[in-house]
């Protein structure tokens, strides 16, 4: 309503009350204005009302919502179902254009504003998270793996002969697939075992680069966030190597934005050496539904060229989910969540340690990994022929999700044509079997308490049944039950 509308209201309701109502409206408007002006995360989260006000204002600006619009194109963002229209706040045009995923759409000014704002907010969040020098980022409605592919395909355009990706081993299928699908050949760098930790073998990286010739190398792909006992790669040193050999450096930071250890590594790497792009998941870092990732970097031009490589427009959903979530969160709550996560990590470590020692096991010492941790299962899993992942299944049927159990049996797997020994363990043979658990954003102390209680019970039951099949489960289940285990 504009001033005239408010004036008309005073014919129905006395002026002083209308005046007060208008004042209240101005407060919302002021927040919106501030957002449009500064494009930064508001300090205090917005109420749902303010968020919906803005979404509606923007939605109204898209051509499919124009009153009396007549569409004679092949793509008019008509929406058949009102359930669908409602759940998208009547946005229909998606984001981007065939030219570029961050391009503005003439038919969708509102969607375009939302997209631009969300990318700006996200850059602010990345800086708040610890990567202060980040220069540009954009949200893309694809999983981390596909986004890594997009980055590599873009690198390829300026490195037409390159075909190898130097890749310190991380046992995630999507990671391997991102290289193979985009047509590159992963060059596996096995990790070193240092104490309990699995760490980057820098010498091997250098040797491989030299062996294959830097010109033939598309990039080095490193990983921050990962399951213990693997720890984040030695980013600083690798970035220096990349700089020295003039090889692109791509970082898989899937759920690392929530963890200052990871972000600090990226920030430092960018200062000391070369980092071309780092990619993270939206759902894992910001508690939105699966569907998007954020491609970010220190060179706005390069990031733009990646955004231009995406052919066609795309779903606005991950962008909208983040838009709503970030505005609702505000920087204060975001920082709180990061702090809580850190505390929960400590709490999880201490509680898991207790359970471990109760069962004659111990927490693995992997202090470089500040998200995931492992607990040994040395004495519990005595027979290699028993399906150790059964512990994971037992936990899952007791409504514990997210643990992984890794045996130290050594078998070969072939992932998309790539032969990997002991897949899942990040190395050919680890010291002992173990179970992992992670403290991720949004976890509560109550989650930890429930977990350790249930774990304790499961371990007791498992031990008492060794040699037999502890849970009543069919054969078919056993073969499939090892699935709910992490980032597969």
Residues of span 407-446 touching its own copies by CB under 8 A: 437-443, 446
- Decide whether 177 or 241 has the Cβ nearer to its own copies: 177
CB of 41 to its own copies, least distance (A): 14
When asked if residue 340 is in the footprint of its own copies (CB under 8 A), the reply is: no
When asked if residue 33 is in the footprint of its own copies (CB under 8 A), the reply is: yes
How many residues contact its own copies, by CB under 8 A? 172
At 141, phi and psi to the nearest 5? -80, 55
CB of 277 to its own copies, least distance (A): 15
Q: For 253-363, where are the E strands, in sequence order? A: 277-281, 293-297
| Angle in degrees, CA 346, 351, 356, rounded to 5 | 120
- Decide whether 236 or 321 has the Cβ nearer to its own copies: 321
On whether the CB atoms of residues 238 and 219 are closer than 8 A, the answer is: no
CB of 273 to its own copies, least distance (A): 26
CB of 387 to its own copies, least distance (A): 14
When asked if residue 470 is in the footprint of its own copies (CB under 8 A), the reply is: no
CB of 423 to its own copies, least distance (A): 12
When asked if residue 68 is in the footprint of its own copies (CB under 8 A), the reply is: yes
Instruction: Spell out the residues 6+ positions from residue 125 whose beta carbon is closer than 8 angstroms to its own.
Output: 41, 257, 326, 334
CB of 46 to its own copies, least distance (A): 9
At 298, phi and psi to the nearest 5? -105, 0
CB of 97 to its own copies, least distance (A): 6
- For residue 332, the tally of other CB atoms under 10 A from its CB is 13
Region 247-306 residues binding its own copies, contact defined as CB under 8 A: 254-255, 281, 283-284, 286-292
* Nearest by Cα to 407 from 485, 303, 487: 485
- Compute the distance between CA of residue 325 and CA of residue 331 in angstroms, rounded to an integer: 11
- Decide whether 35 or 241 has the Cβ nearer to its own copies: 35
Residue from 43, 194, 210, 312 in contact with its own copies (CB under 8 A)? 312
Residue with tokens 């490193």: 222
Residue from 121, 123, 134, 148 in contact with its own copies (CB under 8 A)? 148
Region 170-199 residues binding its own copies, contact defined as CB under 8 A: 172-175, 177-178, 180-183
When asked if residue 335 is in the footprint of its own copies (CB under 8 A), the reply is: no
When asked if residue 107 is in the footprint of its own copies (CB under 8 A), the reply is: yes
Give SS3 for 140.
strand
- Compute the distance between CA of residue 432 and CA of residue 310 in angstroms, rounded to an integer: 44
On whether the CB atoms of residues 42 and 54 are closer than 8 A, the answer is: no
State the sign of the Cα–Cα–Cα–Cα dihedral 169, 280, 277, 175: positive
Region 211-240 residues binding its own copies, contact defined as CB under 8 A: 225, 227
On whether the CB atoms of residues 403 and 454 are closer than 8 A, the answer is: no
């Amino acid at each position: 309503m504009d001033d005239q509308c408010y004036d008309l209201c005073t014919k129905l309701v006395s002026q002083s009350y209308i005046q007060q109502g208008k004042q209240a409206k101005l407060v919302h408007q002021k927040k919106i204005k501030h957002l449009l002006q500064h494009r930064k995360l508001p300090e205090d989260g917005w109420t749902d009302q303010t968020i919906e006000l803005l979404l509606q204002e923007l939605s109204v600006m898209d051509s499919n919502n124009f009153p009396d619009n007549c569409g004679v194109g092949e793509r008019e963002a008509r929406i058949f179902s009102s359930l669908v229209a409602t759940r998208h706040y009547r946005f229909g045009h998606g984001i981007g254009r065939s030219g570029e995923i961050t391009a503005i759409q003439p038919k969708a000014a509102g969607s375009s504003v939302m997209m631009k704002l969300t990318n700006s907010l996200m850059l602010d969040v990345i800086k708040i998270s610890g990567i202060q020098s980040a220069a540009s980022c954009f949200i893309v409605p694809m999983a981390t793996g596909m986004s890594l592919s997009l980055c590599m395909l873009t690198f390829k355009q300026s490195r037409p002969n390159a075909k190898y990706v130097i890749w310190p081993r991380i046992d995630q299928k999507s990671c391997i697939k991102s290289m193979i699908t985009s047509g590159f050949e992963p060059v596996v760098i096995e990790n070193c075992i240092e104490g309990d930790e699995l760490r980057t073998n820098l010498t091997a990286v250098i040797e491989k680069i030299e062996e294959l010739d830097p010109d033939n190398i598309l990039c080095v792909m490193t990983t921050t966030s990962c399951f213990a006992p693997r720890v984040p790669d030695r980013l600083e040193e690798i970035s220096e190597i990349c700089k020295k050999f003039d090889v692109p450096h791509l970082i898989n930071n899937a759920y690392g934005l929530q963890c200052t250890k990871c972000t600090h590594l990226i920030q430092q790497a960018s200062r000391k050496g070369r980092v071309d792009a780092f990619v993270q998941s939206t759902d894992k870092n910001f508690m939105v539904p699966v569907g998007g990732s954020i491609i970010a970097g220190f060179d706005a031009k390069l990031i733009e060229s990646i955004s231009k490589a995406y052919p066609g427009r795309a779903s606005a959903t991950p962008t909208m989910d983040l838009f709503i979530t970030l505005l609702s969160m505000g920087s204060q709550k975001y920082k709180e969540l990061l702090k809580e996560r850190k505390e929960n990590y400590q709490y999880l470590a201490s509680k898991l340690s207790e359970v471990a020692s109760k069962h004659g096991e111990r927490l693995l010492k992997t202090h470089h990994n500040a998200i995931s941790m492992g607990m040994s299962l040395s004495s519990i899993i005595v027979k290699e022929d028993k399906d150790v992942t059964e512990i994971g299944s037992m936990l899952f049927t007791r409504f514990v999700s997210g643990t992984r159990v890794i045996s130290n049996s050594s078998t070969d797997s072939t992932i998309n044509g790539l032969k990997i020994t002991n897949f899942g363990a990040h190395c050919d043979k680890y010291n002992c079997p173990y179970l992992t658990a992670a403290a991720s954003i949004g976890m509560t102390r109550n989650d930890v308490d429930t977990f350790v209680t249930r774990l304790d019970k499961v371990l007791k039951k498992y031990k008492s049944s060794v040699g037999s099949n502890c849970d009543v489960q069919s054969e078919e289940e056993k073969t499939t039950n090892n699935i709910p285990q992490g980032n597969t």
